[in-house]
Amino acid sequence: MTAWMYVITGALLALLVFVISRRMMGFTAQKPEDYEDGTPDFDIRKHLNGPMLCEGVIYGPTGRVSSRFVADFDCAWEGDRGSMKEHFVYDDGSTQQREWHLQLHDSGAIKATAEDVVGQGSGRQTGPTVLLNYRIRLPEGSGGHVLDTVDWMYLTPNGTIMNRSQFRKFGIKVAELVATMRPKDAA
């Protein structure tokens, strides 16, 4: 075997290990079924309802914090249909308004839309977690890119929601968000 064959074989094996590890380990490998037996049960109609406070950080592609924010959420439900109005204030003084429209199905499946979401997001509430997958279009000031988003929310025993989202372009992680959400009266 020539030296080039060893290099090509090594590169292919490294690629194979990378692909397998992404599918079996790490943040994106989680599945709702992993949390079926967990408690407390996360019911978005109950736990994402009323005025809420959100605080978080956004990490850029190098893993360093690129932005910090606080946000006020106003969540309201009529049966299995809800809206979540969000007002963000970022560390640079800029602000952002967003509104989610959510629909919860009896199976726990969730459909979600927002003005900056391309198409419709989908997900599921299971045990103490909520998963949402969607494509988000960044504001023009941030490049206007469309990113694939994996958004997990984890309900803690005291009712605080921990949110972790990863944003990818062409399968490469370009940003990550970590935030807490809790009722305003508990803040």
Instruction: List the chain domain ranges.
Output: 1-30, 31-186
C-alpha dihedral over 101, 54, 117, 63, to 10 degrees? -160
pLDDT on residue 142: 83
Query: What is the per-residue pLDDT for 22?
Result: 58
pTM: 0.85
Please count the residues of the chain: 187
Strands (E), the chain: 50-59, 65-78, 81-90, 95-104, 109-114, 117-126, 129-137, 146-155, 161-169, 172-183
Token pair for 38: 């967990």
Q: Tell me, what's the pLDDT at 148?
A: 98
- pLDDT tens digits for range 15-57: 766 666 655 667 788 898 988 888 889 999 999 999 999 999 9
Q: Which ranges of the chain have pLDDT less than 70? A: 1, 16-25, 186-187
Query: Would you state the pLDDT for residue 27?
Result: 78
Which phi-psi region, left, alpha or beta, contains residue 93 (left: φ > 0; alpha: ψ -120 to 50)? left
Q: What is the CATH number of domain 31-186?
A: 2.40.128.20
pLDDT of residue 187: 56
Pairwise CA distance, residues 54 & 88, whole Å: 9
